[in-house]
């Protein structure tokens, strides 16, 4: 069988998938590009051509810059906390103790919860009238009165970060735990015999096995955090005073709530470009890992 026939057959087999991708991704993307150069008011309509005016308005406008800052701040805080807690949890679950298998299974539950359910659960915990967090802190004497965690600009974003971290750090922990299983036990035992302390064992024995998988987890979680929408929309809808409004929420409000489809399309494409940068870094990192393997 010739190589040309094999190539042709491969393309024929991929045609249904390519058709679906063009229909589901290609056409909406092309229409979004078209809208971004117009002053269209509603999605699916045609407006007058305005060139790059929408992009100039978006990139110099305070709403976009504020949402970009909120998004970056959310991504940095949530991803950093998830990486730290995930590694610590993986190191703990890698130890021998009774009930380890049960604890490992239990840790998956937060990650398995739908994001909307997780957001509603944490809204109840943060409730300013009967929330469990206020009750606990008042009984411990840390607070003198109940407070509205999601109703104050200074605490709303941090409260959402905590909710997002609780849901997603198990993913990092599972990735790190899988990497820890590859560390040879005899190397660990030799390091202990040689007198290496906990930090030295982690740095020189464990970390080389964790670095690659954690880098992948870091990129994946950063991409997800940068396009966050559902958990913030359910908990605060971008408030109070836009203190938790991220790029995805701003795009939704601009295109559908304020009915400025042209500006919303330009925002969406800018966000897509930013996320594409992270995705490209992920692909390049995977290729490097494959070449080293």
Dihedral of CA atoms 26, 228, 153, 251 in degrees, nearest 10, equals: 10
Burial zone of 254 (CB within 10 Å; 0-12 exposed, 13-18 middle, 19+ buried): buried
d(CA 124, CA 114): 16
* Percent of the chain topping pLDDT 70: 96
Least confident of 86-95, 190-199, 202-211: 190-199
Provide the 10 A C-beta neighbour count for residue 16: 9
Q: Which domains does the chain have, with CATH numbers?
A: 73-236 (1.10.3720.10)
pLDDT at 292: 54
Task: Read off the pLDDT of each residue in 148-174 and give the average, rounded to a whole number.
Answer: 94
Is the four-CA dihedral 100, 80, 156, 136 of positive or negative sign? positive
Q: What angle (nearest 5°) sits at the alpha carbon of residue 28, between those of residues 258 and 21?
A: 150
Summary count for the chain: helices (H), strands (E): 14, 0
pLDDT at 31: 84
Tell whether the model's pLDDT for residue 83 goes beyond 80: yes
Q: Which two tokens stand for residue 86?
A: 């995930």
Helices marked H in 61-197: 62-93, 100-112, 115-125, 132-139, 153-180, 185-193
Question: Residues, the chain, total?
Answer: 293
Tell whether the model's pLDDT for residue 97 goes beyond 90: no
- In DSSP terms, 38 is beta-bridged to 49
pTM for this predicted structure? 0.85
Q: Backbone phi, then psi, for 52, in 5-degree steps?
A: -90, 15
Identify the CA nearest to 261 among candidates 36, 67, 49: 36
pLDDT at 2: 65
């Amino acid at each position: 069988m010739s190589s040309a026939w094999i190539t042709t057959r491969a393309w024929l087999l991929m045609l249904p998938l390519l058709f679906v991708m063009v229909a589901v991704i290609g056409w909406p993307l092309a229409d979004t590009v078209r809208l971004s150069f117009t002053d269209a008011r509603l999605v699916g309509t045609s407006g007058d051509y305005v060139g790059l005016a929408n992009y100039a308005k978006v990139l110099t406008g305070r709403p976009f810059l504020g949402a970009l800052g909120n998004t970056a701040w959310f991504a940095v805080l949530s991803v950093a906390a998830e990486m730290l807690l995930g590694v610590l949890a993986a190191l703990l679950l890698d130890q021998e103790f009774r009930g380890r298998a049960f604890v490992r299974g239990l840790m998956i539950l937060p990650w398995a919860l739908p994001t909307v359910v997780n957001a509603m659960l944490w809204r109840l915990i943060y409730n300013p009238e009967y929330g469990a967090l206020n009750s606990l802190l008042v009984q411990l004497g840390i607070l003198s009165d109940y407070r509205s965690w999601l109703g104050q600009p200074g605490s709303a974003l941090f409260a959402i970060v905590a909710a997002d971290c609780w849901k997603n750090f198990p993913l990092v922990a599972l990735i790190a735990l899988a990497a820890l299983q590859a560390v040879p036990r005899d190397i660990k035992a030799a390091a202990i015999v040689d007198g290496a302390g906990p930090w030295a064992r982690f740095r020189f024995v464990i970390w080389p096995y964790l670095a690659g998988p954690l880098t992948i987890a870091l990129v994946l979680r950063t991409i997800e955090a940068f396009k966050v929408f559902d958990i913030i929309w359910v908990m605060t809808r971008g408030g109070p005073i836009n203190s938790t409004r991220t790029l995805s929420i701003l795009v939704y409000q601009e295109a559908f709530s304020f009915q400025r489809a042209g500006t919303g399309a330009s925002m969406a494409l800018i966000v897509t470009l930013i996320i594409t940068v992270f995705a490209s870094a992920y692909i390049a990192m995977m290729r490097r890992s494959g070449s080293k393997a």
